[in-house]
Amino acid sequence: MENILNEEVIPMPRIGDKAPEFKAKTTQGDINFPADYQGKWVILFSHPADFTPVCTSEFMTFATLEEKFAKANTQLIGLSIDGLYSHIAWLRTIKDKIEFKGMKNVDVKFPLIEDITMNVAKKYGMIMPGESSTQAVRAVFFIDPKGTIRAIIYYPLSLGRNFDELYRVIVALQTADEFAVATPADWKPGDDVIISPAGSCGVAKERMDGNVEGLDCKDWFFCTKKLDKDMVLDKVLKKEKEPVLA
């Protein structure tokens, strides 16, 4: 009982919080997070353990999609509470021996953090005792170029992640920022987007009278507009990325 009372309680980071800072060793060298990634979006994700099958399938998929995420100005960073040598041996095994869904000879080039002390995992609420006190759950943090957490997804140990959804989230977040819109359920580039509800009776009336060009309003609070797919992809995937000044 005394140990429980003395155990440090670290609040889980929330959407809108600054990403907790840390320094760590990774399979790609030392990192200082998030300072090293100013100007980039980051997907920071945890996995339960090296040399496990679900994690292996996820790392192969992430590595295969790394270039696609990079075109969306997004850096992938993995984490588990295994050691660096275990990480290296596991990634070599993936490249040399594992084939999954047509993927083989997969070279994982993004950083994989060593977190034996669980320091980073605890800062990010990746250890959930109800699931496991010795392994991190499958947490995913979407962090913007200013180091702010913009979305969080958690999966249990048994459930592999949906990578189409992870990519959709990155593109949707950047689209919302770029065009000052919201994205509806199941949105993907080329679909209509949602604009903010009317902030006054006058604006509401204008919308319902059909006096706002380009809007399709079902009611005063529910208005959509077209957003060209090529425009979205050009802004999100092809524009020159300028570093964010501290």
Active site residues: 55
Taking a C-beta distance cutoff of 8 angstroms, is the pair 65, 53 a contact? no
Q: Identify the residue whose tokens are 């990155």.
A: 170
Burial class (CB in 10 A: 0-12, 13-18, 19+), 22: middle
Residue 48 CA to residue 64 CA, distance in Å, equals: 20
Residue 160 CA to residue 150 CA, distance in Å, equals: 22
Nearest-10 Cα torsion for 163, 13, 19, 49: -50
Would strands 74-80 and 41-46 be described as parallel, antiparallel, or unpaired? Answer: parallel
Residues that constitute the known binding site for substrate? 138
Residues that constitute the known binding site? 138
Helices 163-179 and 53-71, packing angle to 10 deg? 30
Q: What is the largest CA-CA distance in the chain?
A: 67
Which are the contacts of 230, defined by CB distance < 8 A and separation ≥ 6?
none
